[in-house]
Amino acid sequence: MCTLPKGHHEETLCKDSRTRNISQIGAGSLLSRQVASFATRARINLKPMSFQPQPGATTYAPLPQLHSSFKVQDPKDFNERVKNSKVPVIVDFFATWCNPCRTLGPRLESVIAEKNGKILLAKVDIDENTDIALDYDVGSVPALIAIKDGKIQERLVGLQDTDKLRKFVDKVVASAATGTSK
């Protein structure tokens, strides 16, 4: 079983102790010969690759990673990152034991990522932050609440398909751009 150290995000990659790198496998081992044989048949180069720009080519610095979603740690964190946000925030109230929540999460994250920072996603685990869920009258999960300038703009409850999520997010972004609220 693989566990993450405290403070690491779920995007962090971890390796099982049984996982081995090809370079860690002995050169004469059966597995090593099988990998080399497959690579030859599939015309795969197993040598490490490195990127060398062409002479005279323009190179660009990598784009900064936009963190469009975050997990709320406590009510103080919620106030700072959601209520005081300059951009609209969709709050995803979820529970780890909720299967529809597990399905909705990746769909919502992909739709939010398409907006390139025009909207943020805050994830609130209702078991860890019961007070926040009660403050926003969350009676069932998954529940999505759009908040702009500390005020509720829209609400959506239950598992939704990607198209409906995209319409919901587009509506929130558009109302924030025009300055209208519910």
Active site residues: 98, 101
Which of 166, 168, 117 has its CA nearest to residue 145? Answer: 168
Q: Report the SS3 class of residue 90.
A: strand
Q: What is the dihedral of CA 68, 108, 170, 143, to 10 degrees?
A: -110
How many Å apart are CA 126 and CA 136, to the nearest integer? 11
Q: CB count, 10 Å around CB of 27? A: 8
142: preceding bond cis by omega (within 30 degrees): yes
Q: What angle do CA 176, 124, 71 make, to 5 degrees?
A: 85
